[in-house]
Amino acid sequence: MNILVCISNVPDTTSKINFIENDSKFDSNGIQYIINPNDEFGLTKAVWMKESNDASITVLTVGDSSAETILRKCLAIGADRAIRIDCPANDAYSVAREIESYCQSNTFDLIICGRESIDYNGGIVPGLLAGFLDYNFVTNCVSLEVNNSKVTCYREISGGTEISESDLPIIIGSQKGLVEEKDLIIPNMRGIMMARQKPLEVVEAKNISSKSIDKKFHKPQAKSEVKLVNPDELDKLIDLLENEAKVI
């Protein structure tokens, strides 16, 4: 089975978010980049599937050369080969079209994306890609079983779970639950050494134009000071919530 895991290179969760060039661009100065957490759950699942099935794992990112560090990390975690489509990730549409174009000449049975990225976090790329490729699609995927060409997926829905069955090929949007936090693979020395031998291919982009453009970023307004209520005056807290904030 051929598995593709789409990886988004995102600022570490503790990053301070700032903008430059008249608030039109994210300030990546001093930012540590990580594998998008939802993608990492998906990659771990792929590595498990490789252990139990005969599968090969390709990881792919659309981005500039700075994204190669995390691709190497994915190889150290257990992917077999890495692809970087060489263009800036401008918007979900152009990213999904670039991935689609790659998937036209290299077919995959299972494409794993994250449910959403934590930077631009539109949660759009996997669905778009499924629409473009006319693949089956399940997002918010918390469990996945593949038996020959049959797939069973569990999707987290509001207040429960939806279980579906379909044929391959399929695209899933992964999240925690697909594997647990404790299952995430921390690359060991051997993995890191092996990753150096594995192929990382740079593919020329089609340079597809965007359908959405971030014109200007803004940060939320600074919060006013917290109002403290004494623990033995809880009635006051209820008063404030009832009459001032009007939320109960």
Ligand X SMILES: Nc1ncnc2c1ncn2[C@@H]1O[C@H](COP(=O)(O)O)[C@@H](O)[C@H]1O
191 binds other proteins (CB under 8 A): no
143 binds other proteins (CB under 8 A): no
Rounded to whole angstroms, how far apart are CA atoms 35 and 41? 10
The pairing of strands 81-86 and 56-63 is parallel
Is residue 184 within 8 Å of residue 176, measured between CB atoms? Answer: no
169 binds ligand FAD (CB under 6 A): no
Among 14, 22, 105, 148, binds other proteins (CB under 8 A): 14
Among 22, 190, 235, 243, binds other proteins (CB under 8 A): 235
| Selected range binding other proteins among 42-50, 61-69, 77-85, 180-188, rule: CB under 8 A | 180-188
Q: Which token pair is 138?
A: 């399940």
Residue 136 CB, shortest distance to other proteins, in Å, is 5
The pairing of strands 19-20 and 25-26 is antiparallel
Residue with token string 């036209």: 104
230 binds ligand FAD (CB under 6 A): no
Residue 53 CB, shortest distance to ligand FAD, in Å, is 29
Nearest to 36 by CA among 12, 68, 60, 66: 12
| Selected range binding other proteins among 56-64, 67-75, 200-208, 212-220, rule: CB under 8 A | 212-220
Rounded to whole angstroms, how far apart are CA atoms 24 and 78? 37
Q: Which positions touch ligand FAD (CB under 6 A)?
A: 13, 37
